[in-house]
Structures are given as structure tokens and as C-alpha cells.
Amino acid sequence: TQDMFYKLYSIAMPYVLDSNSGDYGVIYVPTQAPEQCKMANPAPIKISKKQKKVSLAPSTMAIGVSENE
């Protein structure tokens, strides 16, 4: 749902890290809802900075990724 998209977006964005490769960033996304896991079990997702969306396995949800805001 739209709500879940924004909730996921706001959870994940603080975990966007730049890598020295310049082409990729890493998003650490909690594998469960943060109220359940307290962000203790994040899953690293390597994304291209050129991409606008990244799929979160095993769900089909995507996060919009901003470039250098």
C-alpha cells in the first residue's frame, strides 16, 4: 500500500551508505518491522545509484532512491 511504501522509505533512507566505488550504495533494511526487531537484523541491499527503485526480497516492494539531495 501507499502507507507501507512511505513507511519503508522512511525506515530505509537513513541506512543509505555511499561506497567508494561511486556507482553503488548500500541500503540496510530491517528484515522485520522495526517495532518487532528494533532494527537489530538489517539486510544489506546493494543498489546502483543510477537506479530509482530497488526491490526488497522476498517482497516486491520498492524504495525510491534519491540522488545526492
Please give the tally of structural domains in the chain: 1
Say if 48 falls within a structural domain: yes
**Average pLDDT over all residues of the chain:** 44
67 within a domain of the structure (yes/no)? no
Is residue 68 in a domain? no
pLDDT digits (tens, 9 = 90+) for 8-59: 544 444 444 444 444 444 444 444 444 443 444 444 555 555 544 444 443 3
In a domain, 6, yes or no: yes
Would you state the pLDDT for residue 20? Answer: 43
Residue 51 lies in a domain: yes
Does the CA dihedral 43-49-17-20 come out positive or negative?
positive
- Residue-number span of the structural domain to which 14 is assigned: 2-62
